[in-house]
Chains A and B, each alone.
Chain A
């Protein structure tokens, strides 16, 4: 069965620290990859996505993610986090069948 694994359940950083959230998936075929974010009290919303082409994709609010096919990974990065980045982050994979499969989420807490 396909699955998505996020390496950390809870990450705590100070403002201006660099962020990297790990995501690995198990699926050998063509996939679309996503990072979603849920800010406190808000809806789940799309942060960035990868369909094809340049494996380094840029999203909103300075986030980027790199698709490494050989490692089945799609890690999320941000050079310098802000207090407003405090949220829960979900990695998701969509296979050719169209189903979106989510990881378990990583809660990010940024200390001011």
Chain B
């Protein structure tokens, strides 16, 4: 069974630039999550989708971060413009339902210079 796919794996940008990350969840998983993991900390939920609807985006910095899951399958997370403090690993996870086991992708390591 294919796992959660993410791309790119690494990205280096300068502050004020924009960047986008892509995630393809496990087939059949209706729930998709984006987490931010800053070095030395645990993952922090940014946004949760159920199919193509947003369930929770309370911790998403909406002035610069946006995410979409238009067809209820793959998803993109965008940062525009990036700040130094956005340097982190961005993890995508998916689950069969909102209370199901979450399966994580390999993450995208973002460095903002």
Contact = CB atoms under 8 A, between A and B. Distances in A.
A27 B56 CA distance: 19
A39 interface: no
A4 B44 CA distance: 12
B98 interface: yes
Interface residues of B, number: 21
Interface residues of A, number: 21
B101 A92 contact: no
A90 B104 contact: no
Interface string B94-113: 00001101101111000000
Contact of A105 (B41, B101, B106, B107): B41
Contact of B41 (A46, A98, A104): A104
B40 A104 contact: yes
Contacts of A101: 45
Contacts of A56: none
A32 B106 CA distance: 24
A71 interface: no
A45 B102 CA distance: 9
Which one of A32, A90, A97, A98 has the greatest number of beta carbons of chain B within 10 Å?
A98
* Main DSSP-derived SS at the A contact region: strand
B45 A99 contact: yes
Interface string B1-24: 001100000000000000000000
A101 B98 CA distance: 14
Interface string A48-89: 010000000000000000000000000000000000000000
Nearest to B59: A99
B79 interface: no
B41 A44 contact: no
A102 B43 contact: yes
Given A42-B106, A101-B45, A105-B40, 7 more contacts: A43-B106, A44-B43, A45-B104, A98-B55, A98-B56, A98-B98, A100-B45
Interface of A: 4, 9, 32, 42-46, 49, 90, 92, 94, 97-105
User: Which A-B residue pairs are the 6 nearest by beta carbons?
Assistant: A102-B42, A44-B104, A98-B98, A43-B104, A102-B43, A104-B42
